[in-house]
Amino acid sequence: MLDRSEHDRLGAIYAELRDRLLDLTKKNRALNYTISPRSKRQLQIVDEVLEDVYAHLTEGGDSFRVAALPEPDGIPPEEKTEEFMDALAHAKVSDMDYLAALDQQAASGVEDDVVVGRIERNLRDRVREQLGLPPRPRKADINRDEHAKSLGIDPGKELPVVGTKTSHSDRLLQTMLYP
């Protein structure tokens, strides 16, 4: 049997060895994990009560589904104005590029809503330019955090401790990724 001083000495040696085995530097990705908001390899859960999710999973509850951040509205607010709508209606009957593209699409014999949507989007972009509006913001340019806040989703990395919203008990795990 070890005396008390030898026990304390060995305990200190083991503690030092344990600390040396653990990599506490920033190179240890298990301790220093950076979250990239647009990464397709990571799934950041936001606006959920972690303790509730954990308890539900460990108690053998139903599974969860992943909820994507709804995409921003496809039509910017300035394109919903009466001035823009009037200019667009006029361009649909007078813009030669638009009419030629529609004729070419109709002549192909294939109804393709994506192509027709792209033709109309190009017309909308030309009308924006004619009216002196800035270029339409791309989805990549839209601030996801601000968009999430506008939808009532808290984009913060710190999860709430107590559920205060109905979405905290809906069995959907909210993410910051678009569908």
Q: Are residues 84 and 168 in the same domain?
A: no
With tokens 């070419």, the residue in question is 104
Closest CA to 84 of 124, 137, 138: 124
Report pLDDT for 38. Answer: 64
Question: How many domains are contained in the chain?
Answer: 3
DSSP of 66-125: EEPPPPPPSS-GGGGSHHHHHHHHHHHHH-HHHHHHHHHHHHTT---HHHHHHHHHHHHH
CA–CA dist 154, 177 (Å, integer)? 14
Q: Are residues 162 and 133 in the same domain?
A: no
Residues 6+ apart with CB under 8 A from 27: none
Average of per-residue pLDDT across 31-55: 79
Per-residue pLDDT reduced to its tens digit, 156-173? 888 777 777 777 778 888
Report pLDDT for 23. Answer: 78
Asked if residues 177 and 69 have their Cβ atoms less than 8 Å apart, the reply is yes
Q: Are residues 81 and 130 in the same domain?
A: yes
Mapping DSSP to helix (H, G, I), strand (E, B) and coil, where does residue 51 land? helix
Asked if residues 175 and 68 have their Cβ atoms less than 8 Å apart, the reply is yes
Q: Is the pLDDT of residue 5 over 80?
A: yes
Report pLDDT for 93. Answer: 92
Indicate whether 39 belongs to any domain: no
Asked if residues 177 and 68 have their Cβ atoms less than 8 Å apart, the reply is yes
Report pLDDT for 37. Answer: 62
Q: Are residues 68 and 98 in the same domain?
A: no
Indicate whether 125 belongs to any domain: yes
Report pLDDT for 89. Answer: 92
- Indicate if the alpha-carbon torsion angle 132, 137, 142, 146 is positive or negative: positive
Q: Are residues 103 and 121 in the same domain?
A: yes
Instruction: Please give the residue range of the domain that contains residue 24.
Output: 1-33
Q: Both tokens of residue 156?
A: 């913060």
Per-residue pLDDT reduced to its tens digit, 104-158? 888 887 777 888 888 998 999 999 999 999 888 777 677 888 888 888 888 888 8
Report pLDDT for 82. Answer: 92
Average of per-residue pLDDT across 56-73: 82
Report pLDDT for 166. Answer: 75
Average of per-residue pLDDT across 93-100: 92
CA–CA dist 153, 69 (Å, integer)? 9
Cα angle value 93/95/99 (rounded, 5°): 75
Report pLDDT for 18. Answer: 83
Report pLDDT for 16. Answer: 87
